[in-house]
Structure 1
Amino acid sequence: MNPLYRNDTPGHLPKSWYAASTEVPPERPPLYGETRADVCIVGAGFTGLSAAWHLAQKGMDVVVLDAHCPGFGASGRNGGQVGSGYNAEQGDLEKRYGREMARDLWELAEEAKADIRDICAKHIPDSRYTPGVAHGCYSVQEARDYAEDAAHLAEKYGYDQITSMDADAFRDLVKSPRYWGGILDHGAGHIHPLRYALGLARLAEDAGARLYDRSEVHDIVEGDTVLLRTNRGCVRAKHAILAGNGYLPTLTRTVAAKVMPINSFICATEPLGDRAVDVLSRDIAVADSKFVVNYYRMSEDNRFLFGGRESYSIGFPKDISTALIARMTHLFPQLKGVGVDYVWGGTLGITMTRLPAIQRVAPNILSGAGFSGHGVALSGLAGKVMAEAIAGQAGRFDTLAALNVPNFPGGPAMRAPLLTLAMSWYALRDRLGI
């Protein structure tokens, strides 16, 4: 079953707090007939819209095709955390790739955060970029490991934005009895992701890009001119970018072999009012050290937005709420009995190494996907460097494309059952505390 349609109504955003708190523009018409472009982009999320905006600013004729509408996928549903680095410790990247490349990767990730801060400040202020992301640890040893990583970043990269905390200090910040310390990254932050995605769409259109809703690409024919077919039309373009991430069906086996779609879920409580400070003492986002991660923050109207509880089938579970709310109240017993007004899910893309899969599918077809939980910042960066590569400056694209992202064992057919088995083991380790 295609993840594009398995869990949602075509062309409609999910009934999330994000959608309820956003002025959503009218639906754009689909693509009819044949058109030509310098670049055709598949997917109107952070990656595709970032690429479209940068390319259009360079004077290129850009078409963006989405099966639904801008912000429909993970870009409009996620936890909104603008995290530092990658889903790998910087020290591990040094061991794998050497100090020089690790530093290049770090600087790219820092640029990704800076881009979001700048775009929010200058162009999309209602996406409300707010600094501060904490990471909670379930043991004293984990807290020490996080503190050592923070010290390494300060010493080797000059990144002095992280405060390490013992159990008492962290519990003053995050009012859960479960954590035994952690860190607060002042250089990271959080945003309203759907407003940000819709803002990027406006920027891309204002720069001259053409966006079409309800225009699923079902076939790509490679060649000097790329042909992309939809049910109602087609685009002939000099270049193409595949930016569907977890929502991209098996359009190309090259992408599908490296990127696995998984689901994650979020709930939004009723407004907590003055009780919000009994959960988080500051307006920060939080993630923790569980392999099946919990992530959360307060909304602007003091709802608690709590996410986690991954699943590895294409379809969402029939009952999303029960297990998700149980995770929330286990961490925060003070929230037992609090009303939950919204529950939604979304599909993201992960890779075997949890590093992004930036690829040249063909000489004139690029792909960016598999951001593995770090997509709010890294997906926009991927769009930016793919735009640079198409414009003839491929150095930064090549740096990201050099990341080792192997195919899932067994290819697209076997990735889901094998990953489900592995994730079930890690989920058991989380429950056992090992």
Structure 2
Amino acid sequence: MTDPLANSYYAATAHEWPVHADIEGEYACDVAVIGGGFTGLSAALACAERGFSVILVEAEKVGFGASGRNGGQLIPGLRWSASELEAEFGHERAAALFGLCWRDNRVKTRIAKHGIDCDLKVGHLEAAWTPKDFDAMRREAEYLSKRYGYETDVISKAEMGAHIASPLYHGGIHDTQGGHFHPLNYAIGLAKAAEAAGVRILQGQRANWILDSNAGELFLSESTIEARYFIDATDSWIGDIEPDLGRYTVPIMNYNIATAPLTNADALLPSDAAVADSRFVLNYFRLSADKRLIFGGGERYSQTPPRDIAVFVRPFMAQVFPQIADAKIDYGWGGAVAVTMNRLPHIGRRGNIFYAHGFSGHGALVTTLAGELIAEAMAGTAERFDVLANLPSQPFPGGKWLRRPLATLGLLWYALRDRLG
């Protein structure tokens, strides 16, 4: 398909990766994976490492969706804070979630194990949009230290200049467990590791539906795959294959720009940390390896992209960094983020079909973990998988036709609260 959002810095600087031409025939394997993003690739790789025969199907190219388009921000945890998780679920369950989603950085592990060249940098800064937000961050940092022995750096407003050359923020939290990377090159690195482990990757094959029976079968455009297990890792497109699962998310369109290389890049972000602010409709930004500012700002609830993405995002960048308001912008791109009702991922199993989706903009780290936990569960050890699979979830109200309009109204309300302060 022609992609109107393809003017991506990541696509322009991606490592070479062939598009395989297998498009016809019948296949058989232990595990069929649908989706060539972080979740599907990490699941396929982990399954192959456990001795399963695996075929991965991707309708476009590896990393085509959110995995290859996101802001490259590696943010530890989930959209809920650790204190919110404990208040809702109790200490034992919250501690299990914390161990998986904050401490267990599987992305760093995979990068190191397979020598993936993806411009990995250390450090993530959550920047407080209001003094109230900073007070909440400071309390959470103290909670993490006392309750979990997890140390972060509390950055006062006066100290923020060591991280970001912008007067807008009232302090922040710097976490060295987080960081940033080139997401498409990470996806390609996972794909190469998966192929080396024996995974067969079929690109340009659209999955249509799964016949879920004792002899499960996945029907593609021009071929079929018979398998014992299936993993649906299609995120924003999951409703195309499993309509019932599609009721649990709505797609939100996010847009990014990349400037031309900047002579003052290091002055803008002196610590080279990735930054995301505390607004509901947040700004998020970082430096690329070649000293561009990659900036994401604003979101749209229509899937029709703006006529000019650079024009749409530039005002958000200029608000944060007025000193580069007129900087040349070389790339502008976007894509859909699948968001759940409660902003927690929706992960589970139905018979011989495993699924993981709805990471709600917080998935660059957790998706790799989710794929590996699916492989663990498939091999017979489901304890860690169940920690995430037991997170509460509910479908959006409104059915097929009203689900997205009703969700949009709710999201617009939270966006309005940002503007009202």
Matched, 1:130 2:121: yes
User: CA 1:413 to 1:393, structure 2 compared with 1: closer, same or farther past 3 Å?
Assistant: farther
Q: 2:211 corresponds to which residue?
A: 221
Give the Cα separation in 1 of the matches to 2:94 and 2:266. 38
Task: Name the amino acid aligned to 2:276.
Answer: A
1:358 to 335, 347, 350: 347
Matched ranges for 1:412-423 at <5 A: 412-423=400-411
SS in 1 for 2:88: helix
**Aligned residue for 2:298?**
309
1:288 matched to 2:274? The reply is: no
- Which whole-Å CA distance do the structure 1 matches of 2:47 and 2:23 have between them? 20
For the pair 1:400 / 2:400, whether they are aligned, the reply is no
Q: Distance in 1 between matches of 2:113 and 2:171?
A: 36
- Which residue of structure 1 lines up, in the alignment, with residue 9 of structure 2? 17
Compute the displacement of 1:126 (Å). Answer: 1.4
User: Is it true that 1:82 corresponds to 2:78 in the alignment?
Assistant: no
Shift of residue 410, structure 1, vs aligned partner? 1.7
Moved more, 309-318 or 61-70: 309-318
Query: Which of 263, 271, 277 is the aligned partner of 2:266?
Result: 277
Quote the RMSD (CA, aligned, Å): 1.5
2:167 aligns with 177
Q: Distance in 2 between matches of 1:125 and 1:29?
A: 25
**Greater CA drift, 251-260 or 298-307:** 251-260
3-state DSSP class of the match of 1:427? Answer: helix
Q: CA deviation at 1:142?
A: 1.2
Please give the secondary structure, in 2, of the residue aligned with 1:399: helix
Using the alignment, how far apart are the partners of 2:115 and 2:183 within structure 1? Answer: 11
Mean Cα displacement is larger for which, 409-418 or 176-185? Answer: 409-418
Specify the code of the residue in structure 1 equivalent to 2:129: Y
Which residue matches 2:107?
116
**Residue in structure 1 matched with residue 50 of structure 2 by the alignment:** 58
Report Cα offsets for 1:397-423 as digits up to 9, x if no partner.
111111001111123432211121112
Letter in 2 for 1:19: A
SS at match of 1:218: strand
Shift in Å at residue 168 of structure 1?
1.3
1:173 and 1:280 in contact (8 A); partners too: yes
Residues 400 and 56 of structure 1: CA distance in aligned 2, closer, same or farther (over 3 Å): same
Identity %: 40
Residues paired across the two proteins, number? 421
Which of 363, 369, 372 lines up with 1:384 in the alignment? 372
- Aligned partner of 2:84 in structure 1 is 92
Q: What is residue 101 of structure 1 aligned with on the other side?
A: 93
Aligned mates of 1:59, 1:420 — CA distance in 2: 44
Counterpart CA distance in 2 for 1:312 and 1:359 is: 27
Q: Distance in 2 between matches of 1:111 and 1:316?
A: 36
Mapped contact 2:377–2:385 kept (Cα < 8 A) = yes
| Residue aligned with 1:290, SS | coil
Question: What is the SS of the residue equivalent to 2:401?
Answer: helix
CA contact (8 A) 1:296 1:307 kept: yes
**Matching residue of 1:264:** 254
Indicate the larger mover: 189-198 or 220-229: 220-229
Unaligned 5+ segments in structure 1 are none
- Asked if 1 retains the 8 angstrom alpha-carbon contact of 2:306 and 2:312, the reply is no
The residue aligned with 2:240 is: 250
Q: Does the 8 A contact of 2:208 with 2:240 survive in 1? A: no
Return the offset for 1:112. Answer: 4.2
CA distance in 1, matches of 2:146, 2:276: 24
- Which secondary structure does the structure 1 equivalent of 2:241 belong to? coil
Distance 1:316 1:124, change over 3 A: farther
C-alpha displacement of 1:186 = 1.4
Pairing 1:145–2:136 present? yes
What CA distance in whole angstroms lies between the structure 2 residues aligned with 1:191 and 1:342? 17
Q: Report if aligned partners of 2:344, 2:358 keep a CA contact under 8 Å in 1.
A: yes
Aligned partner of 1:8: which letter? Answer: D
In 2, distance between residues paired with 1:288 and 1:310? 14
TM-score of the superposition, structure 2-length normalised?
0.97
Note the C-alpha offset of 1:323.
2.4
Give the TM-score of the pair, scaled to structure 1.
0.94
Aligned twin of 2:398: 410
Q: Which amino acid aligns with 1:407?
A: P
User: After alignment, is 247-256 or 186-195 more displaced?
Assistant: 247-256
**CA distance in structure 2 between the partners assigned to 1:333 and 1:247 by the alignment:** 37
> What is the CA deviation profile of residues 314-344 of structure 1, one whole-angstrom value per residue up to 9, with x for unaligned ones?
3322232222100110111111111000000
Matches within 5 A, 1:21-36: 21-36=13-28
* Equivalent position to 2:310, from 295, 316, 321: 321
Match of 2:420 in 1: 432
1:133–1:34 Cα change, 3 Å: same
1:30-75 deviations in Å (ceiling 9; x for gaps): 4311111101010010000000001111111101011001111111
Deviations 1:325-372 (A, max 9, x none): 001101111111110000000112110111010021x21001000111
The answer on whether the counterparts of 1:247 and 1:261 sit within 8 Å (CA) in structure 2 is no
Contiguous gaps of at least 5 residues in structure 2: none
Q: Match of 1:316, SS?
A: coil
Give deviations 1:149-190, integer Å, cap 9, x for gaps: 011011111101x11111111133211111111111112111
Whether 1:157 aligns to 2:145 is no
Q: Which amino acid aligns with 1:305?
A: I
Letter in 2 for 1:70: V
The residue type equivalent to 1:124 in the other structure is G
SS at match of 2:330: strand
Q: Does 1:8 align with 2:3?
A: yes
Deviates more, 1:283-292 or 1:167-176: 167-176
